[in-house]
Structure 1
C-alpha cells in the first residue's frame, strides 16, 4: 500500500538546558546561592536529571516527546493539530537565550491543557520555526481551524 504523503524528515531536536536554567533564571541563581550550603547541588542534580530524561524532536509532520529514565514514553503531537505556540521568558532568560514554549493543541496527548517545554535553548527561534511548520502541515493536509465559542456560535 502506498501513500501520497512525502517521507517525514527531522527538522530539529533538543533537550532542556540545565546550565542555561542555572544562569538564566532567578530560581537558578537562588540555587547557586544554596549550593554554598550543599542544598543547591541536590536541586541542580534533580533539575539535570529531569532535563536529561526528556528529549524533543520536531519533524516536518510531528512534535515527538521522549521522556523517562527508567520508564520511557514517547508522545507525538501532529503539527496540524497545534493551535497556538507561545514563548515566555524573563529578562534573565533573554540574556542566556532560554525560554518556556507553551503549546496548545487539539491532540489527545495534551488534551485541554497546555503542554510546556521548559528551559528551551533558542526558544524564540524554535517557536517561530515550529509556527511555520504548523502552517505548512495544515496546508499540506488541507486543514483549516474553526473557532467556536462555548455557546456554540462562530
Structure 2
C-alpha cells in the first residue's frame, strides 16, 4: 500500500541541520506513528512520505519554508524582568505568553539587567533540516482514528473520547 492522505504510517526517522548536528532520532527508540494529513508533521516531510511504501528508505532535505518557517526578528523582544517575578530565570527557559495572535511559546535568550530578551520563533525556524526515513508499516486509518485525529494502538489511545 502506498502512503496517501489518511494513511497511518509507522516510521523511523533521524533529522540533522545543515551543519550535520543531530537534532532528533527514533532509530534507538520507538518508531513514530501518525496519520498523514493530520497536521502532525511539517509539510516538507509529510509531502515526501506520499507514495512511499513499506520498506522504503529515503533522505529528504526540507527548507525552512516547508519546515518550521523562516525566522522573524519581530518575534524577539525585550520584556521587563518584573513580568517573571518569583521565577529564577535562566537562558533557554520556555514560557507560554499571551500575544496578539493568542498563546505562544517564548524562549529566554538573554537577561539584560531589568530586561529579558525573549524569542517567539520556533527553535527550528530558519533551519534547513535533512531527514533520513525508514517506512515500517502503512495502513488505512480507521474511522475512529480519523474522527479523533490520531492513531489508536492495540491497547486503545490512552484516553476517553
TM-score by length of 2: 0.25
Larger Rg: 2
**Larger helix share, 1 or 2:** 1
Highest RCO, 1 vs 2 (Cα 8 Å, sep ≥ 6): 2
**Larger strand share, 1 or 2:** 2
TM-score by length of 1: 0.26
